[in-house]
């Protein structure tokens, strides 16, 4: 205990103000708990500061850039207009700052005490908050929710430096490099490849697996690979990166190809996007006695309770599915279990919506076709291409498709895989149908407005039932 520090006792202490932590804090406060939240750097988390939100602004600018350059003629726009990346950078920062202010507003509105500093557990019921000037608060709590997120993973042989960085440095950069090598073709690598290429950067993506977005359905990977090629992105699959480091004027990357040849590339910048690891260090986790899994995440049950029953963990630190909306959903369950003795549990993480904000977008939930065949044997599969959808033609984006997979016995959806314009907006109908067990025979009668992209879902429902109408 430090003498000058504030002494405070609360019902619920939340460590980390990312999308999981701040939402859990609000829900706990709504349920009548006294709540304190501690954040050392990013109010709103990586998501609002340097992740989902600012990157979506950059992606929107990338789409506009593509419109005024590659598609100018089709839309009757003057030739030779170029989009200024600095404007994209400035707007992405101002949108992020606005959203961050919104988080502070919500904390205040809900009577939540905010502490800006590093929180360190000193026992399983106490935590100290420290700033550069020393300890500012000693907080005791009945319950804690750990929402400390994750950190970027690196590869052996890759020396991070000024020009070999993770995504944060790229998001915060005021300029777009003339050439960019992206290591890893997961969501982060693919999203940045699309932004950089749309602003005219010469982009090479190196992916270790045999296809991009290897966690997605194979048809999705193939469709997006075609789109990247059109954008001018070079994709090398089966590429094992051996080394990457800064040089005097840029960066140098060495990788082995699937055929065993060693290849070298000189580039202006290297983005390392090979995944995240749950953050377990730097906040006194040992002092709580909370157990971690063999794979290095905080071990939680379906109600997000750790091995110490009054301590919960949510978000990336649980190693379940590192997505902002999953953290939020976990935060609400944890807060309701604490504040209302709720019996709610998290559903199957595989059924959570997933999206990659590439050009065109990718959206999915549930099982891929290969997983569904392995688990169920026989499955119903139907696809509908956006080239047969009127609205897609009107907006001038006809690449992609809707692919749905259903269980032939229950006739309910088990997976959905979409590539196309704004397809992430189409997921809720599918996840609701799957979650409530709505059959394809009912789904075909759910009337969709014309002309909309969502009509492609209705067509795919008809396809599952054996009778596509417009294709």
Question: Site residues (CB under 6 A) for ligand NAD?
Answer: 155, 183-189, 206-209, 214, 239-241, 273-276, 322-323, 354-357
**CA–CA separation, 17 vs 6, rounded Å?**
20
The burial of 154, by beta-carbon neighbours within 10 Å (0-12 exposed, 13-18 middle, 19 or more buried), is given as middle
Q: How many residues in total does the chain contain?
A: 471
CB-nearer residue toward ligand NAD: 42 or 357: 357
CA 202 to chain centre: 25
- For residues 217 and 403, the answer to whether their CB atoms sit within 8 Å is yes
**CA–CA separation, 465 vs 410, rounded Å?**
12
CB of 384 to ligand NAD, least distance (A): 23
List the catalytic residue out of 61, 89, 310, 450: 450
**CA–CA separation, 194 vs 402, rounded Å?**
21
CB of 289 to ligand NAD, least distance (A): 27
CB-nearer residue toward ligand NAD: 149 or 250: 149
CB-nearer residue toward ligand NAD: 189 or 331: 189
CB-nearer residue toward ligand NAD: 50 or 460: 50
CB-nearer residue toward ligand NAD: 363 or 406: 363
Task: List residues bridging with 234 in a β-sheet.
Answer: 204
Name the helix (H) or strand (E) containing 152. Answer: strand 150-152
**CA–CA separation, 337 vs 315, rounded Å?**
16
CB closest to ligand NAD, residue no: 186
Check if 450 is active-site.
Answer: yes
CB-nearer residue toward ligand NAD: 208 or 384: 208
CB of 350 to ligand NAD, least distance (A): 13
Q: What sign does the CA torsion over 82, 420, 417, 316 have?
A: positive
Beta strands in 370-465 (DSSP E): 380-385, 401-407, 412-420
- For residues 43 and 100, the answer to whether their CB atoms sit within 8 Å is yes
The burial of 164, by beta-carbon neighbours within 10 Å (0-12 exposed, 13-18 middle, 19 or more buried), is given as buried
CB of 446 to ligand NAD, least distance (A): 27
CB of 424 to ligand NAD, least distance (A): 8
Q: How many CB atoms lie within 10 A of CB 211?
A: 17
3-state secondary structure of 265: strand
CB-nearer residue toward ligand NAD: 124 or 351: 351
Long-range contacts of the stretch 377-380 (C-beta < 8 A, 24+) = 378/408, 379/405, 379/406, 379/407, 379/408, 379/414, 380/405, 380/406, 380/407, 380/408, 380/411, 380/440, 380/464
- For residues 17 and 39, the answer to whether their CB atoms sit within 8 Å is yes
3-state secondary structure of 217: coil
CB-nearer residue toward ligand NAD: 140 or 209: 209
Cβ partners under 8 Å of residue 261, min gap 6: none
CB of 206 to ligand NAD, least distance (A): 5
CB of 51 to ligand NAD, least distance (A): 6
CB of 47 to ligand NAD, least distance (A): 9
Cβ partners under 8 Å of residue 244, min gap 6: 155, 157, 158, 159, 164, 181, 183, 251, 252, 253, 254, 270, 272
Active-site residues, by number, are 450
């Amino acid at each position: 205990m430090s003498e000058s520090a504030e002494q405070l006792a609360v019902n619920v202490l939340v460590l980390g103000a990312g999308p999981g932590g701040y939402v859990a804090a609000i829900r706990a406060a709504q349920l009548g708990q006294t709540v304190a939240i501690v954040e050392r750097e990013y109010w709103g988390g990586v998501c609002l500061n340097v992740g989902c939100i600012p990157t979506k602004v950059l992606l929107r600018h990338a789409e506009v850039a593509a419109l005024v350059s590659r598609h100018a003629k089709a839309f009757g726009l003057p030739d030779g207009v170029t989009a200024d990346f600095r404007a994209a950078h400035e707007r992405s920062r101002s949108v992020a700052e606005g959203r961050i202010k919104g988080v502070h507003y919500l904390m205040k509105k809900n009577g939540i005490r905010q502490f800006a500093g590093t929180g360190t557990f000193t026992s399983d019921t106490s935590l100290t908050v420290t700033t550069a000037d020393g300890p500012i608060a000693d907080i005791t709590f009945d319950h804690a929710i750990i929402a400390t997120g994750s950190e970027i993973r690196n590869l052996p042989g890759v020396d991070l430096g000024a020009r070999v960085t993770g995504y944060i440095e790229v998001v915060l950069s005021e300029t777009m490099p003339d050439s960019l090598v992206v290591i890893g073709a997961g969501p982060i690598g693919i999203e940045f490849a699309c932004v950089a290429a749309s602003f005219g950067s010469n982009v090479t993506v190196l992916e270790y697996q045999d296809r991009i977005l290897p966690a997605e359905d194979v048809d999705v990977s193939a469709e997006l690979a075609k789109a990247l090629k059109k954008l001018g992105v070079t994709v090398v699959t089966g590429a094992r990166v051996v080394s990457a480091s800064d040089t005097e004027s840029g960066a140098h990357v060495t990788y082995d190809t699937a055929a065993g040849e060693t290849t070298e590339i000189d580039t202006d910048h290297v983005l390392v996007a090979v995944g995240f690891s749950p953050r377990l260090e730097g906040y006194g986790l040992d002092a709580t006695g909370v157990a971690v899994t063999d794979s290095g995440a905080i071990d939680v049950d379906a109600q997000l309770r750790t091995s110490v029953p009054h301590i919960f963990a949510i978000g990336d630190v649980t190693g379940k599915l590192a997505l902002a909306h999953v953290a939020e959903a976990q935060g609400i369950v944890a807060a309701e279990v604490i504040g209302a003795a709720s019996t709610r549990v998290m559903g199957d993480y595989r059924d959570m919506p997933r999206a990659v904000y590439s050009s065109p977008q990718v959206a999915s939930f549930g099982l891929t076709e290969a997983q569904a065949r392995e688990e169920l044997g026989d499955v119903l599969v139907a696809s509908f291409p956006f080239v047969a959808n009127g609205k897609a033609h009107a907006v001038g984006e006809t690449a992609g498709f809707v692919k749905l997979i259903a269980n032939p016995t229950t006739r309910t959806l088990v997976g959905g895989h979409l590539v196309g314009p704004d397809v992430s907006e189409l997921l809720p109908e599918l996840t609701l149908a799957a979650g409530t067990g709505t059959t394809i025979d009912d789904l075909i009668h759910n009337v969709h407005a014309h002309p909309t992209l969502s009509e492609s879902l209705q067509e795919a429902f008809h396809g599952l039932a054996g009778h596509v109408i417009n294709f």
